[in-house]
Amino acid sequence: MHMHVGPVAAAPSEGGRQMGVGDGPRRIRQTVLIAMALTLVAGEAFAHSGHGDGSGFANGFLHPIFGPDHVIAMVAVGLWGVFLGAPAIWVLPIVFPLVMAFGGVLGILHVPLPAVETGIALSAIVLGLCVAFALKPPLWTAIIIVGVFAVFHGHAHGAEMPETSDALSFALGFVIATGLLHLCGIAFGFLARWPVGALAVRTAGGLIAIAGGAYLSGFA
């Protein structure tokens, strides 16, 4: 398996065309607008349902956001997608929530999955290192890596679902929250178009890996 390690290059857009000078800022604005719109929708649902009243959506939406181990791994997916470029920049943030939903079903049904917390911590370590070293494996390899770790995150969400919550609403909540965290990673990752920004993004990947190591060792 060939895996390229090196400085990030400008991510090509769909159709193989290189992103122009104005494409990065425009995509950042688009990403932020999408994130804001989804946040407003989620906030409206939260305001009407409340936290812990059995509706499920609010509980599911807040579960990954209030879990730092989930947050850093999901942001790392977005960061890595930017380094890999199109189509990975959009494929990975789609694959992760979809596979995570499957893992959530396993958790809700109490299907045993060994070493869930270890898998979550390892996801932060591996994904953080992929960003820190700007690893560029084939797309299928990146999909497998992201998909495997998504199962652990989803299982944790599902297993910790409150008994009074509606399963479908709960799953929808944590899937939307996960998508928002991916978008945050993508927005920050676009800084890698500039040398200083690339250093900042790769440093963020290193910090994510360190945080994952702290979770794995029990220090966090």
pLDDT in tens, the chain (220 residues): 445 554 444 444 433 444 443 454 455 445 444 544 444 444 444 433 434 444 688 899 999 999 999 999 999 999 999 999 999 999 999 999 999 999 999 999 999 999 999 999 999 999 999 999 999 999 999 999 999 999 999 999 999 998 888 889 999 999 999 999 999 999 999 998 899 999 999 999 999 999 999 999 987 6
From 202, 21, 44, select the one nearest 129 (Cα to Cα): 202
Rounded to whole angstroms, the Cα distance separating 45 from 107 reads 24
* 4-5/135-136 β-pairing: antiparallel
- Alpha-carbon distances of 206 from 2, 115, 210, rounded to whole Å: 22, 23, 6
Site of tokens 């958790």: 107
Phi, psi of 85 (to 5 degrees): 80, -175
How does DSSP classify residue 169?
H
Question: Cβ contacts of residue 92 below 8 Å, gap of 6+?
Answer: 77, 78, 80, 81, 84, 142, 143, 146, 182
- Alpha-carbon distances of 67 from 73, 76, 98, 160, 194, rounded to whole Å: 10, 14, 19, 12, 31
Predicted confidence (pLDDT) per residue in 84-120, tens digit: 999 999 999 999 999 999 999 999 999 999 999 999 9
What pTM does this model have? 0.75
Rounded to whole angstroms, the Cα distance separating 58 from 43 reads 9
Rounded to whole angstroms, the Cα distance separating 77 from 146 reads 7
Q: What is the pLDDT of residue 135?
A: 95
From 157, 174, 151, select the one nearest 96 (Cα to Cα): 151
Site of tokens 């299928």: 140
